[in-house]
Structure 1
Amino acid sequence: MLPGGARAPYGVYMAEHEPVSGLAVAVVREDGRWRCGSMDTSALTELDAAITELRRMRSTGAVFGMLAVDDEFFILLRPAPGGVALMLSDAAAALDYDIAADVLDLLRVDPPDEDDDELWPAGDLGVLADLGLPAAELQVIVDDVDLYPDEQLQMIASRCGFGDEFARLLDQLQQ
């Protein structure tokens, strides 16, 4: 955090016309070891770019992405042979962000009404269950509205066992 409680962005990226700040991390587990790396900035605004980048990563273990967008919401995405498993922390984000709308579109879920102020996730809450994060625990993390998305992702990383690797990457990105 910056003085006065302001949050430092990890980077500013251009969407169509408006800047989007955030964090895009690729996570790989191979031979019992975790690795975290930055994804291309386009992953924050283009779901197809994020999926394509993750699919290019060759691994015999788990590969998934963690996106935190504009301190508003996060997306977990995990390519699978038959498609991609997705989880969007707040479906209402689809009203303001194309990438969130694209997630709902792939999930075949209608966006909430404009006046709906309830936070509800969309997608597969069990997307990381085999890595140590059951759906019920992910729901608890999503429901904690006092946390920023990057803090929620840090909790997810810690629960799955790669918290230190994730924290190191965040430190590098903030420098």
Structure 2
Amino acid sequence: MRMAVKEPITGFAVAVVREDGQWRCSPLDTAALAELDAAITELGKMRSTGAVFGLLAVDDEFFVIVRPSPRGASLLLSDAAAALDYDIAADVLDLLRVDPPDEDDDSVWPEGDLDVLADLGLPGAELQVIVGEVDLYPDEQLQMIAQRCGFGEQFAALLDEI
């Protein structure tokens, strides 16, 4: 496995669970920021009759939404070009069977399932608008997603703790 980024990866990884109409946010191990398998494994251990997904903000550069299911994980990478510099982004593209962009392509576009949170009140078209807000940092985009889905307070409270 290649390691394009030598510095430690900063950011956060949050597990979001909806159980009996209540939202709960908890931190994931920081290994989830570097390895997609670690994020999927940790989320897969969370038992819930409701929704379980992860929100990962990596180095103030991009975010990943990971939603495990029996059919495999649904994924959304906010910036496909991040795969050129980050293993976790490359892993997302690998799992999606999408080639990384060319080195000289500087446009930003998401890759994956824009409807990953549609059943929780965030249709793909709205998620596309949030992802398209390239002037925002990933944590700000994820806060917008949290607000739109209804767990903004829980998400903000957790970020204040970590």
Shorter-chain TM-score bucket reads over 0.9
* Structure with greater strand share of residues: 1
Establish whether residue 150 from structure 1 lines up as the match of residue 134 from structure 2: no
TM-score when normalising by structure 2: 0.96
**Cross-structure match for 2:161:** 172
Q: 102, 113, 129: which one pairs with 2:102?
A: 113
The gaps in structure 1 that reach 5 residues or longer are 1-14
Q: What is the total number of aligned residue pairs between the two structures?
A: 159
**Cross-structure match for 1:45:** 34
**Cross-structure match for 1:79:** 68
Q: Please identify runs of 4+ aligned residues in structure 1 that moved more than 6 A.
A: none
Cα distance in 1 for residues equivalent to 2:27 and 2:5? 21
Cα shift readout 1:34-62 (whole Å, capped 9, x = no counterpart): 00000001000010000000000000000
The gaps in structure 2 that reach 5 residues or longer are none
1:18, distance to aligned residue in structure 2 (A): 1.9
**Cross-structure match for 2:54:** 65
Cα distance in 2 for residues equivalent to 1:20 and 1:82? 29
Cα distance in 2 for residues equivalent to 1:35 and 1:47? 22
1:86, distance to aligned residue in structure 2 (A): 0.2
Q: CA RMSD in A?
A: 1.0
Letter in 2 for 1:163: G
Aligned partner of residue 101 in structure 2, secondary structure: coil
Percent identity, aligned pairs only? 78
Cα shift readout 1:2-34 (whole Å, capped 9, x = no counterpart): xxxxxxxxxxxxx97321100100000000000
Cα distance in 1 for residues equivalent to 2:25 and 2:8? 25
TM-score when normalising by structure 1: 0.89
Letter in 2 for 1:98: D
